[in-house]
Structure 1
Amino acid sequence: MLRTILLTGLILAIAIGGGAASVQYALDRFGGFGALEVGQWNAYPAAGTPDSDPYAKAHGARNGALALGAAEGLIFQANRDRQGRALDRRCTYHISGATPPARFWTLYAADRSLHPLPPEPGMLPALHSRQILRDEDGSFTITVSPKAQPGNWLPVPGSGPFVLIMTFYDTPVASSSGLSDLVMPRASLVAEEAGCHG
């Protein structure tokens, strides 16, 4: 009798613990179905719309994220470089190329839970399309690094992995008509500081 009670308790503990862990993982790491992938970047065009799936709604509700409507814009995320390695705050990267047409865009670094990295004193926590230096053809290069860099610099303080968040406002990309021939900038590793990918 006691053995049956203990066995039942153990099974319930495993079931409840495993279920809670899977829910935690889904809410922290899984953004939902219907991802739009462009190179290293992915977005969820249905987020914030009535067509959004339950996972995306739960993820947004738990993180307190306010999703953009389809007519407002689209949020892209990148957590790996061109070689497929996780982005590391101790490394230096170049974000280079061009962006889809948009009235305005922003770029910032976040942790794996998509919370913005806390800026250090004197550092800008984000960049936007109206402040960056561009080449003659309209392309640009942004250096993402823990150390100060000339030109367009996005600081990433601390250590550990991070995610790049690029948000486009008032853009045709947010509608299905803007998804063809979509081009996003590339994130490439250019320097390995001490402890980079260590």
Structure 2
Amino acid sequence: MTTLGINTASPLTRLKRTLQAAFGLIVKSAIFITIALIGGALSSWYAVESGTRFNTERIGPWTKWSNAGRPDADPYSKVRFGNRNELVFSSVLAARYEASRDSEGRSLHSSCDYVLEGLRVPDAWWSLAVFDTAGRLIQNEARRYGYNAATVMRETSGAFVINLSRDAKPYNWLPTSRAGRMVIVLEVQQSTGTASLQTDQDSTVLPAIRRTACR
């Protein structure tokens, strides 16, 4: 109670109000710090999984990782590729492209079949393999894990397609078993030792990823 501008509240009441105000401030501060920590963690996770504009380049469904395997790579690239169960070539020697979605933007999944077509890499070594989201090669009874410039079967024109499916396909077939979500990795090395394609960076150089069926 206040009489004639004089605060007549009891000391206990004033203490209670002070504690309530302090508690409210502590709760607000805790909420702010929690949101900041969660936001920072999510931002770091996204940078590791999807890259940033400083270490990646989007080309159609493909993402080019410019610092893959480099000893002087940025922290996010080091974490991403340091945890992989695969040998990652340095981007100084080979350009690395990854795709986790098809050309229509849909996530790649082993319950669907895909055709990769249109890859054009003149006079360069390349390899293509499919992995699970943990960076492991997809185990399969056929023991087929990837193709490269020397092993892929071509048409007389030199063109080729690669089929991704859990069911056997003729010619260039990569089994996907029941891996769930998948990542396709394409590595390209120039005969000159440079890590860029000998054309403008055009999405037509990299293969289109076309979904043909789902179960």
Same fold (TM over 0.5): yes
Tell me, what secondary structure is at the counterpart of 2:158? coil
Q: Which moved more, 1:26-35 or 1:137-146?
A: 26-35
2:42 paired with 1:21: yes
Rounded to whole Å, the distance in 2 between the matches of 1:143 and 1:122 is 14
| C-alpha deviation, 1:67, in angstroms | 4.7
State the alpha-carbon separation in 1 of the partners of residues 91 and 28 from structure 2. Answer: 50
| Residue 4 (structure 1) shift | 3.0
Instruction: Name which of 142, 154, 159 aligns with 1:134.
Output: 154
The DSSP-based 3-state class of the residue aligned with 2:117 is: strand
Relative to the length of structure 2, the TM-score reads 0.72
Work out the CA distance in 1 between the residues paired with 2:177 and 2:40. 34
- The answer to whether the aligner puts 1:157 opposite 2:164 as a matched pair is no
* Structure 1 gap ranges (5+): none
Question: Residues 98 and 138 of structure 1 are in contact (CA less than 8 Å); yes or no, is this contact kept in structure 2?
Answer: no
For 1:67 and 1:159, how far apart are their aligned partners in 2? 24
Q: Which has the higher contact order (CA 8 A, sep 6+)?
A: 1
- Given that 2:118 and 2:161 are in contact with CA atoms closer than 8 Å, whether structure 1 keeps it comes out as yes
1:180 to 200, 208, 214: 200
Q: Distance in 2 between the 1:45 and 1:22 partners?
A: 20
Q: Is the 8 Å Cα contact of residues 101 and 107 (structure 2) preserved in structure 1?
A: yes
Cα deviation 1:108-139 (Å, max 9, x = unaligned): 112345x0343133331222222221001111
State the alpha-carbon separation in 1 of the partners of residues 169 and 70 from structure 2: 39
Which residue of 2 is the match for residue 44 of structure 1?
65
Distance in 2 of aligned mates of 1:101 and 1:28 = 30
1:121 matched to which residue of 2? 141
- Structure 2 gap segments, 5+ residues each: 1-18
CA pair 129-19 structure 1, distance change in 2 beyond 3 A: same
CA distance in 1, matches of 2:34, 2:118: 51
- Large movers: runs of 4+ above 6 Å: none
Secondary structure of 1:95's counterpart equals strand
Contact 1:92 / 1:144 at 8 angstroms: preserved in 2?
yes
Structure 2: which amino acid aligns with 1:131?
Answer: T
Letter in 2 for 1:142: I
Asked if the contact 2:68/2:96 (under 8 Å) is kept, the reply is no
Deviates more, 1:148-157 or 1:83-92: 83-92
Structure 1 distance, partners of 2:171, 2:104, is: 24
Cα gap change, 1:24/1:137 in structure 2, threshold over 3 Å: closer, same or farther? same
Answer whether contact 2:130 2:138 (CA < 8 A) is retained: no
Sequence identity percentage: 27
- Describe the shift of the 1:75–1:171 C-alpha distance in structure 2 as closer, same or farther (beyond 3 A): farther
* Contact preservation (8 Å) 1:33, 1:53: no
Aligned to 2:213: 191
TM-score by structure 1 length?
Answer: 0.77
Structure 1 residues 51 and 161, CA gap change in structure 2 (3 angstroms)? same
Q: Would you say the 8 A contact 1:36–1:42 is kept in 2?
A: yes
In 2, Cα distance between equivalents of 1:173 and 1:139: 24
